[in-house]
């Protein structure tokens, strides 16, 4: 039981850290790169400004 709780907490923390890093990276992309991935500056800003715990 305790192993599952620890694994769940670790998984959640890992997910949150990944989201934070991905959103920081997205915020740093220039408009040309955003266009390459089909994302507008407004969409990128909206996603980058979400808290890490929000999907």
pLDDT tens digits along 21-32: 999 999 999 999
Q: Give the model's confidence band at 41: pLDDT under 50 very low, under 70 low, under 90 confident, else very high.
A: very high
Q: Give the model's confidence band at 17: pLDDT under 50 very low, under 70 low, under 90 confident, else very high.
A: very high
The whole-model pTM stands at: 0.85
Q: Give the model's confidence band at 53: pLDDT under 50 very low, under 70 low, under 90 confident, else very high.
A: very high
Which pLDDT score is estimated for 48? 97
- Strand, coil or helix: 50: coil
Q: End-to-end distance of the chain based on CA atoms, in angstroms?
A: 27
């Amino acid at each position: 039981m305790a192993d599952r709780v620890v694994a769940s907490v670790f998984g959640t923390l890992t997910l949150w850290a990944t989201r934070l890093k991905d959103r920081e990276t997205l915020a740093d992309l220039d408009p040309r790169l955003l266009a390459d991935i089909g994302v507008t500056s407004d969409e990128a800003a909206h996603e980058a400004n979400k808290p890490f715990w929000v999907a």
